[in-house]
Amino acid sequence: MKPINVGLLGIGTVGGGTFTVLGRNREEISRRAGCTISMKMVADKDLERARRVVGDSAVVTADALDVVDNPDIDIVVELIGGTGIAKELVLRAIANGKHVVTANKALLALHGNEIFAAAQKKDVMVAFEAAVGGGIPIIKSLREGLTANRIEWIAGIINGTSNFILSEMRDKGASFGDVLKEAQRLGYAEADPTFDIEGVDAAHKLVIMAAIGFGIPMQFSSAYVEGISRLTREDIRYAEELGYRIKLLGIAKRKARGIELRVHPTLIPARRLIANVEGVMNAILIKGDAVGQTMYYGAGAGAEPTASAVIADLVDVARMLTADPEHRVPHLAFQPDQLFDIPILPMGEVETSYYLRLRVYDKPGVLADITRVLADLGISIDAMIQKEPHEGEDQAEIIMLTHLTVEKNVNTAIEKIEALPVVAGKMTRIRLEQLN
Protein backbone atom coordinates (compact mmCIF):
# COMPACT_ATOMS: atom_id res chain seq x y z
CA MET A 1 0.00 0.00 0.00
CA LYS A 2 1.31 3.44 -0.90
CA PRO A 3 2.41 5.79 1.91
CA ILE A 4 -0.27 7.98 3.48
CA ASN A 5 0.56 11.69 3.47
CA VAL A 6 -0.73 13.72 6.40
CA GLY A 7 -1.16 17.47 6.75
CA LEU A 8 -1.34 18.90 10.27
CA LEU A 9 -3.25 22.08 11.11
CA GLY A 10 -1.94 23.49 14.40
CA ILE A 11 1.21 22.37 16.18
CA GLY A 12 0.50 23.48 19.72
CA THR A 13 0.49 21.08 22.67
CA VAL A 14 -1.44 18.23 21.02
CA GLY A 15 -0.03 18.88 17.56
CA GLY A 16 3.51 18.78 18.90
CA GLY A 17 2.73 15.58 20.80
CA THR A 18 1.28 14.01 17.65
CA PHE A 19 4.37 14.89 15.62
CA THR A 20 6.66 13.51 18.35
CA VAL A 21 4.82 10.23 18.90
CA LEU A 22 4.37 9.61 15.17
CA GLY A 23 8.12 10.03 14.68
CA ARG A 24 9.15 8.02 17.74
CA ASN A 25 6.88 5.04 17.03
CA ARG A 26 6.98 5.21 13.24
CA GLU A 27 7.97 1.57 12.73
CA GLU A 28 5.36 0.20 15.15
CA ILE A 29 2.64 2.40 13.66
CA SER A 30 3.52 1.31 10.11
CA ARG A 31 3.34 -2.34 11.11
CA ARG A 32 -0.15 -1.80 12.53
CA ALA A 33 -1.42 0.33 9.64
CA GLY A 34 0.06 -1.78 6.86
CA CYS A 35 1.63 1.30 5.28
CA THR A 36 3.86 4.25 6.09
CA ILE A 37 2.11 7.30 7.59
CA SER A 38 4.17 10.43 6.93
CA MET A 39 3.64 13.95 8.24
CA LYS A 40 4.32 15.92 5.05
CA MET A 41 2.99 19.39 5.88
CA VAL A 42 2.39 21.46 9.01
CA ALA A 43 0.41 24.72 9.11
CA ASP A 44 0.69 27.08 12.06
CA LYS A 45 0.61 30.87 12.34
CA ASP A 46 3.67 30.69 14.62
CA LEU A 47 6.19 29.65 11.96
CA GLU A 48 9.15 29.88 14.30
CA ARG A 49 7.60 27.48 16.81
CA ALA A 50 6.52 25.11 14.04
CA ARG A 51 10.01 24.99 12.54
CA ARG A 52 11.53 24.33 15.97
CA VAL A 53 9.30 21.28 16.40
CA VAL A 54 9.35 19.98 12.82
CA GLY A 55 12.86 20.83 11.65
CA ASP A 56 13.41 19.76 8.05
CA SER A 57 11.16 16.69 8.18
CA ALA A 58 8.02 18.42 6.81
CA VAL A 59 6.99 21.50 4.85
CA VAL A 60 5.94 24.31 7.21
CA THR A 61 3.46 27.01 6.19
CA ALA A 62 1.52 29.78 7.87
CA ASP A 63 -1.45 29.28 5.52
CA ALA A 64 -3.69 26.32 6.37
CA LEU A 65 -5.17 26.41 2.85
CA ASP A 66 -1.78 25.28 1.53
CA VAL A 67 -2.46 22.01 3.36
CA VAL A 68 -6.17 21.44 2.70
CA ASP A 69 -5.82 22.31 -1.02
CA ASN A 70 -2.67 20.24 -1.62
CA PRO A 71 -3.57 17.27 -3.88
CA ASP A 72 -0.76 15.17 -2.37
CA ILE A 73 -2.24 15.28 1.17
CA ASP A 74 -4.49 12.28 1.95
CA ILE A 75 -5.52 13.07 5.56
CA VAL A 76 -5.90 16.47 7.23
CA VAL A 77 -5.47 16.53 11.02
CA GLU A 78 -7.30 19.53 12.51
CA LEU A 79 -5.90 20.58 15.90
CA ILE A 80 -6.66 24.30 15.74
CA GLY A 81 -9.74 24.17 17.96
CA GLY A 82 -12.76 26.42 18.08
CA THR A 83 -15.69 26.56 15.68
CA GLY A 84 -14.69 29.37 13.30
CA ILE A 85 -11.81 28.82 10.90
CA ALA A 86 -11.59 25.18 12.00
CA LYS A 87 -15.06 24.49 10.59
CA GLU A 88 -14.23 26.19 7.29
CA LEU A 89 -11.01 24.22 6.92
CA VAL A 90 -12.60 20.87 7.79
CA LEU A 91 -15.43 21.36 5.30
CA ARG A 92 -12.98 22.49 2.62
CA ALA A 93 -10.76 19.47 3.23
CA ILE A 94 -13.82 17.22 2.88
CA ALA A 95 -14.89 19.04 -0.31
CA ASN A 96 -11.39 18.34 -1.65
CA GLY A 97 -11.91 14.62 -1.01
CA LYS A 98 -9.59 14.40 1.98
CA HIS A 99 -10.18 12.38 5.12
CA VAL A 100 -10.17 14.33 8.38
CA VAL A 101 -8.95 13.55 11.88
CA THR A 102 -9.91 16.04 14.59
CA ALA A 103 -9.75 16.46 18.37
CA ASN A 104 -12.24 19.35 18.24
CA LYS A 105 -15.19 18.41 20.48
CA ALA A 106 -16.83 21.86 20.27
CA LEU A 107 -16.80 21.73 16.47
CA LEU A 108 -18.42 18.29 16.40
CA ALA A 109 -20.96 18.97 19.15
CA LEU A 110 -22.17 22.13 17.39
CA HIS A 111 -21.64 21.29 13.71
CA GLY A 112 -21.10 17.53 13.57
CA ASN A 113 -24.36 16.82 11.72
CA GLU A 114 -23.31 19.12 8.86
CA ILE A 115 -19.73 17.79 8.80
CA PHE A 116 -20.73 14.12 8.75
CA ALA A 117 -23.31 14.75 6.02
CA ALA A 118 -20.65 16.44 3.87
CA ALA A 119 -18.23 13.57 4.50
CA GLN A 120 -20.84 11.00 3.51
CA LYS A 121 -21.47 12.77 0.19
CA LYS A 122 -17.75 12.78 -0.61
CA ASP A 123 -17.15 9.19 0.64
CA VAL A 124 -14.47 10.34 3.10
CA MET A 125 -13.98 9.59 6.78
CA VAL A 126 -14.03 11.94 9.75
CA ALA A 127 -12.32 10.39 12.79
CA PHE A 128 -12.50 12.00 16.23
CA GLU A 129 -11.31 9.63 18.97
CA ALA A 130 -9.26 12.42 20.57
CA ALA A 131 -12.33 14.66 20.94
CA VAL A 132 -13.54 12.80 24.04
CA GLY A 133 -11.48 11.48 26.93
CA GLY A 134 -8.00 12.29 25.61
CA GLY A 135 -6.14 8.99 25.36
CA ILE A 136 -9.08 6.83 26.51
CA PRO A 137 -10.41 4.88 23.48
CA ILE A 138 -14.01 5.64 24.36
CA ILE A 139 -15.31 6.48 20.88
CA LYS A 140 -14.05 3.19 19.43
CA SER A 141 -15.46 1.29 22.42
CA LEU A 142 -18.91 2.85 21.98
CA ARG A 143 -18.93 2.68 18.20
CA GLU A 144 -17.41 -0.77 17.71
CA GLY A 145 -16.67 -2.71 20.90
CA LEU A 146 -20.21 -2.34 22.29
CA THR A 147 -22.03 -2.53 18.96
CA ALA A 148 -24.05 -5.60 20.06
CA ASN A 149 -25.55 -3.68 22.98
CA ARG A 150 -28.54 -1.46 23.47
CA ILE A 151 -26.84 1.32 25.44
CA GLU A 152 -28.93 2.18 28.52
CA TRP A 153 -26.87 4.99 30.01
CA ILE A 154 -23.52 6.79 29.96
CA ALA A 155 -22.05 8.68 32.93
CA GLY A 156 -18.60 10.20 32.96
CA ILE A 157 -16.04 12.44 34.59
CA ILE A 158 -14.96 14.01 31.30
CA ASN A 159 -13.33 17.26 32.35
CA GLY A 160 -10.02 16.98 34.19
CA THR A 161 -9.91 20.61 35.34
CA SER A 162 -13.18 20.42 37.27
CA ASN A 163 -12.26 17.02 38.69
CA PHE A 164 -8.94 18.39 39.94
CA ILE A 165 -10.73 21.31 41.62
CA LEU A 166 -13.27 19.07 43.36
CA SER A 167 -10.53 16.64 44.48
CA GLU A 168 -8.49 19.47 45.99
CA MET A 169 -11.51 21.00 47.70
CA ARG A 170 -12.26 17.64 49.32
CA ASP A 171 -8.67 16.77 50.28
CA LYS A 172 -7.63 20.20 51.56
CA GLY A 173 -10.92 21.72 52.66
CA ALA A 174 -10.09 24.70 50.44
CA SER A 175 -12.55 27.06 48.78
CA PHE A 176 -13.45 26.88 45.11
CA GLY A 177 -11.73 30.20 44.36
CA ASP A 178 -8.45 29.21 46.00
CA VAL A 179 -8.28 25.85 44.22
CA LEU A 180 -9.12 27.43 40.86
CA LYS A 181 -6.13 29.76 41.25
CA GLU A 182 -3.93 26.75 42.05
CA ALA A 183 -5.25 24.90 38.98
CA GLN A 184 -4.39 27.90 36.82
CA ARG A 185 -0.90 28.10 38.34
CA LEU A 186 -0.31 24.42 37.56
CA GLY A 187 -1.58 24.78 34.01
CA TYR A 188 -4.68 22.61 34.53
CA ALA A 189 -7.05 25.56 34.04
CA GLU A 190 -7.02 28.24 31.34
CA ALA A 191 -6.79 31.95 32.13
CA ASP A 192 -10.49 31.98 31.21
CA PRO A 193 -11.70 28.70 32.73
CA THR A 194 -15.40 29.18 31.90
CA PHE A 195 -15.80 26.20 29.54
CA ASP A 196 -14.26 23.85 32.11
CA ILE A 197 -15.81 25.02 35.39
CA GLU A 198 -19.27 25.77 33.95
CA GLY A 199 -19.63 22.34 32.34
CA VAL A 200 -19.55 23.43 28.68
CA ASP A 201 -16.51 21.33 27.75
CA ALA A 202 -18.05 18.26 29.41
CA ALA A 203 -21.33 18.90 27.58
CA HIS A 204 -19.57 18.99 24.20
CA LYS A 205 -18.11 15.55 24.92
CA LEU A 206 -21.35 14.14 26.32
CA VAL A 207 -23.30 15.17 23.21
CA ILE A 208 -20.82 13.24 21.02
CA MET A 209 -21.02 10.11 23.18
CA ALA A 210 -24.83 10.27 23.35
CA ALA A 211 -25.08 10.53 19.57
CA ILE A 212 -22.96 7.38 19.16
CA GLY A 213 -24.54 5.50 22.05
CA PHE A 214 -28.19 6.11 21.13
CA GLY A 215 -28.05 6.71 17.37
CA ILE A 216 -29.30 10.31 17.52
CA PRO A 217 -28.08 13.51 15.84
CA MET A 218 -25.78 15.89 17.72
CA GLN A 219 -27.98 18.12 19.90
CA PHE A 220 -25.82 20.40 22.03
CA SER A 221 -28.52 23.07 22.36
CA SER A 222 -30.81 20.52 24.06
CA ALA A 223 -28.31 19.56 26.79
CA TYR A 224 -28.74 20.83 30.37
CA VAL A 225 -25.46 22.35 31.56
CA GLU A 226 -24.54 23.36 35.13
CA GLY A 227 -21.00 23.87 36.43
CA ILE A 228 -19.19 23.66 39.76
CA SER A 229 -18.52 27.34 40.50
CA ARG A 230 -21.28 27.55 43.13
CA LEU A 231 -20.17 24.50 45.11
CA THR A 232 -18.90 25.11 48.62
CA ARG A 233 -16.48 23.18 50.83
CA GLU A 234 -19.40 22.69 53.25
CA ASP A 235 -21.39 20.76 50.65
CA ILE A 236 -18.38 18.57 49.89
CA ARG A 237 -17.88 17.90 53.62
CA TYR A 238 -21.54 17.07 54.25
CA ALA A 239 -21.60 14.76 51.22
CA GLU A 240 -18.65 12.90 52.74
CA GLU A 241 -20.48 12.55 56.06
CA LEU A 242 -23.39 10.95 54.22
CA GLY A 243 -21.10 8.53 52.34
CA TYR A 244 -20.95 10.37 49.00
CA ARG A 245 -18.50 12.32 46.86
CA ILE A 246 -19.32 15.17 44.51
CA LYS A 247 -18.17 14.95 40.89
CA LEU A 248 -19.06 16.93 37.77
CA LEU A 249 -20.77 14.24 35.68
CA GLY A 250 -21.96 14.14 32.12
CA ILE A 251 -25.04 11.86 32.10
CA ALA A 252 -27.01 10.50 29.14
CA LYS A 253 -29.85 8.07 29.87
CA ARG A 254 -32.34 6.31 27.62
CA LYS A 255 -35.86 6.65 29.05
CA ALA A 256 -39.25 5.54 27.74
CA ARG A 257 -40.19 9.10 26.71
CA GLY A 258 -36.81 10.29 25.46
CA ILE A 259 -33.14 10.86 26.31
CA GLU A 260 -31.80 12.60 29.41
CA LEU A 261 -28.81 14.73 28.40
CA ARG A 262 -27.29 16.64 31.31
CA VAL A 263 -24.07 17.90 32.91
CA HIS A 264 -24.05 18.97 36.57
CA PRO A 265 -22.37 18.37 39.94
CA THR A 266 -23.53 15.00 41.23
CA LEU A 267 -23.32 13.07 44.50
CA ILE A 268 -22.03 9.52 43.92
CA PRO A 269 -21.73 6.81 46.61
CA ALA A 270 -18.12 6.83 47.82
CA ARG A 271 -17.86 3.06 47.32
CA ARG A 272 -18.25 3.38 43.54
CA LEU A 273 -15.01 3.16 41.57
CA ILE A 274 -15.80 6.33 39.64
CA ALA A 275 -16.22 8.28 42.90
CA ASN A 276 -12.54 7.59 43.62
CA VAL A 277 -11.20 9.02 40.36
CA GLU A 278 -9.10 11.96 41.50
CA GLY A 279 -7.07 14.83 40.07
CA VAL A 280 -7.13 15.50 36.34
CA MET A 281 -8.02 11.92 35.40
CA ASN A 282 -11.15 11.00 33.43
CA ALA A 283 -13.46 8.00 33.82
CA ILE A 284 -16.55 6.95 31.89
CA LEU A 285 -19.17 4.33 32.79
CA ILE A 286 -21.31 2.76 30.07
CA LYS A 287 -24.23 0.43 30.79
CA GLY A 288 -25.21 -1.93 27.96
CA ASP A 289 -28.02 -4.45 28.11
CA ALA A 290 -25.75 -7.39 27.18
CA VAL A 291 -22.38 -6.48 28.69
CA GLY A 292 -23.66 -4.75 31.84
CA GLN A 293 -21.60 -1.91 33.25
CA THR A 294 -18.11 -1.14 31.87
CA MET A 295 -15.66 1.54 32.97
CA TYR A 296 -12.96 3.37 31.00
CA TYR A 297 -10.26 5.29 32.88
CA GLY A 298 -7.22 7.29 31.89
CA ALA A 299 -5.67 10.64 31.07
CA GLY A 300 -8.28 12.94 29.58
CA ALA A 301 -5.84 15.51 28.24
CA GLY A 302 -2.15 16.17 27.67
CA ALA A 303 0.13 16.17 24.66
CA GLU A 304 0.97 12.50 24.27
CA PRO A 305 -2.22 10.88 25.66
CA THR A 306 -4.28 12.91 23.17
CA ALA A 307 -1.70 12.27 20.44
CA SER A 308 -2.20 8.55 21.08
CA ALA A 309 -5.86 8.94 20.07
CA VAL A 310 -5.07 11.16 17.06
CA ILE A 311 -2.60 8.60 15.69
CA ALA A 312 -4.99 5.72 16.36
CA ASP A 313 -7.45 7.56 14.10
CA LEU A 314 -4.77 7.98 11.43
CA VAL A 315 -4.14 4.23 11.53
CA ASP A 316 -7.88 3.50 11.35
CA VAL A 317 -8.27 5.74 8.29
CA ALA A 318 -5.24 4.14 6.65
CA ARG A 319 -6.68 0.67 7.23
CA MET A 320 -10.09 1.67 5.85
CA LEU A 321 -8.86 3.43 2.69
CA THR A 322 -9.25 0.24 0.67
CA ALA A 323 -12.73 -0.52 2.08
CA ASP A 324 -15.93 0.12 0.16
CA PRO A 325 -17.40 3.35 1.67
CA GLU A 326 -20.70 1.53 2.34
CA HIS A 327 -18.88 -0.95 4.57
CA ARG A 328 -16.85 1.46 6.66
CA VAL A 329 -17.69 2.01 10.31
CA PRO A 330 -20.32 4.81 10.34
CA HIS A 331 -19.27 8.10 11.93
CA LEU A 332 -21.94 7.83 14.63
CA ALA A 333 -21.99 4.00 14.83
CA PHE A 334 -25.43 3.73 13.20
CA GLN A 335 -25.94 3.90 9.44
CA PRO A 336 -26.68 7.54 8.49
CA ASP A 337 -30.24 6.77 7.37
CA GLN A 338 -30.93 4.93 10.64
CA LEU A 339 -30.45 7.81 13.09
CA PHE A 340 -33.55 8.41 15.24
CA ASP A 341 -34.77 11.84 16.24
CA ILE A 342 -35.54 10.76 19.82
CA PRO A 343 -36.61 13.76 21.94
CA ILE A 344 -34.26 15.10 24.60
CA LEU A 345 -36.20 15.36 27.85
CA PRO A 346 -36.50 18.82 29.45
CA MET A 347 -34.63 19.00 32.75
CA GLY A 348 -37.93 19.32 34.62
CA GLU A 349 -38.86 15.79 33.48
CA VAL A 350 -35.60 14.19 34.66
CA GLU A 351 -35.97 11.70 37.53
CA THR A 352 -33.15 11.41 40.02
CA SER A 353 -32.41 11.83 43.74
CA TYR A 354 -31.33 15.04 45.45
CA TYR A 355 -29.11 16.52 48.14
CA LEU A 356 -30.83 19.54 49.72
CA ARG A 357 -29.18 21.92 52.21
CA LEU A 358 -30.86 24.86 53.92
CA ARG A 359 -30.50 27.10 56.94
CA VAL A 360 -33.49 27.49 59.27
CA TYR A 361 -34.32 29.42 62.40
CA ASP A 362 -34.01 27.21 65.46
CA LYS A 363 -37.69 27.05 66.42
CA PRO A 364 -40.17 24.24 67.21
CA GLY A 365 -42.08 22.81 64.24
CA VAL A 366 -39.57 23.86 61.57
CA LEU A 367 -38.85 20.35 60.38
CA ALA A 368 -42.55 19.50 60.26
CA ASP A 369 -43.23 22.51 58.00
CA ILE A 370 -40.49 21.47 55.58
CA THR A 371 -41.37 17.77 55.43
CA ARG A 372 -45.04 18.66 54.87
CA VAL A 373 -44.09 20.59 51.71
CA LEU A 374 -42.02 17.66 50.48
CA ALA A 375 -44.73 15.11 51.26
CA ASP A 376 -47.40 17.14 49.45
CA LEU A 377 -45.27 16.91 46.29
CA GLY A 378 -44.57 13.18 46.68
CA ILE A 379 -40.91 13.66 47.69
CA SER A 380 -39.69 11.25 50.35
CA ILE A 381 -36.54 11.65 52.47
CA ASP A 382 -33.85 8.98 52.41
CA ALA A 383 -31.43 10.47 54.97
CA MET A 384 -31.08 13.65 56.98
CA ILE A 385 -28.51 15.51 59.11
CA GLN A 386 -29.39 18.41 61.39
CA LYS A 387 -26.50 20.61 62.51
CA GLU A 388 -27.18 22.43 65.78
CA PRO A 389 -26.58 26.20 65.89
CA HIS A 390 -23.18 27.41 67.06
CA GLU A 391 -23.14 29.22 70.37
CA GLY A 392 -24.79 32.62 70.02
CA GLU A 393 -26.45 31.77 66.68
CA ASP A 394 -30.18 31.28 66.08
CA GLN A 395 -29.92 29.32 62.82
CA ALA A 396 -29.40 25.58 62.29
CA GLU A 397 -28.44 23.75 59.11
CA ILE A 398 -30.44 20.84 57.70
CA ILE A 399 -29.13 18.47 55.02
CA MET A 400 -31.50 15.98 53.37
CA LEU A 401 -31.14 13.27 50.74
CA THR A 402 -34.29 12.37 48.83
CA HIS A 403 -35.42 9.19 47.11
CA LEU A 404 -36.00 9.24 43.34
CA THR A 405 -38.28 12.06 42.29
CA VAL A 406 -39.00 14.30 39.30
CA GLU A 407 -37.03 17.54 39.01
CA LYS A 408 -40.04 19.79 38.45
CA ASN A 409 -41.48 18.65 41.81
CA VAL A 410 -38.19 19.48 43.52
CA ASN A 411 -38.17 22.91 41.88
CA THR A 412 -41.67 23.57 43.25
CA ALA A 413 -40.68 22.28 46.69
CA ILE A 414 -37.61 24.54 46.82
CA GLU A 415 -39.71 27.56 45.89
CA LYS A 416 -42.28 26.81 48.59
CA ILE A 417 -39.71 25.98 51.30
CA GLU A 418 -37.68 29.13 50.62
CA ALA A 419 -40.90 31.12 51.10
CA LEU A 420 -41.44 29.73 54.63
CA PRO A 421 -40.74 32.34 57.32
CA VAL A 422 -38.64 29.81 59.25
CA VAL A 423 -36.15 29.42 56.37
CA ALA A 424 -33.14 31.74 56.05
CA GLY A 425 -31.83 32.37 52.54
CA LYS A 426 -31.67 30.02 49.54
CA MET A 427 -31.53 26.23 49.47
CA THR A 428 -28.64 24.37 47.89
CA ARG A 429 -29.65 21.56 45.54
CA ILE A 430 -27.24 18.96 44.09
CA ARG A 431 -28.43 15.94 42.14
CA LEU A 432 -27.55 12.42 43.25
CA GLU A 433 -26.95 9.26 41.15
CA GLN A 434 -26.45 5.74 42.50
CA LEU A 435 -24.92 4.49 39.20
CA ASN A 436 -25.84 0.89 39.91
- Distances, alpha carbon 77 to alpha carbons 82, 104, 124, 128, 428, in Å: 14, 10, 13, 10, 44
**What Rg value do the Cα atoms of the chain yield, rounded?**
24
Distance CA 13, CA 16 (A): 5
CA dihedral sign, ordered 419, 422, 423, 424? positive
Residue type, 322: T
249/201 Cα distance (integer angstroms): 11
- Count other C-beta atoms under 10 Å from residue 221's C-beta: 9
- Taking alpha carbons only, the member of 61, 67, 78, 68 closest to residue 314 is 78
Set 40, 105, 140, 205: catalytic member: 205
Whether the CB-CB separation of 132 and 102 falls below 8 Å is answered with: no
140 flagged as catalytic = no
Residue pair 73/6 in contact (Cβ under 8 Å)? The answer is: yes
Which amino acid appears at position 51 of this protein? Answer: R
State the Cα torsion 79-83-89-90 to the nearest 10°: 80
Residues 18, 20, 24, 27, CA torsion sign: positive
Catalytic amino acids?
A: 205
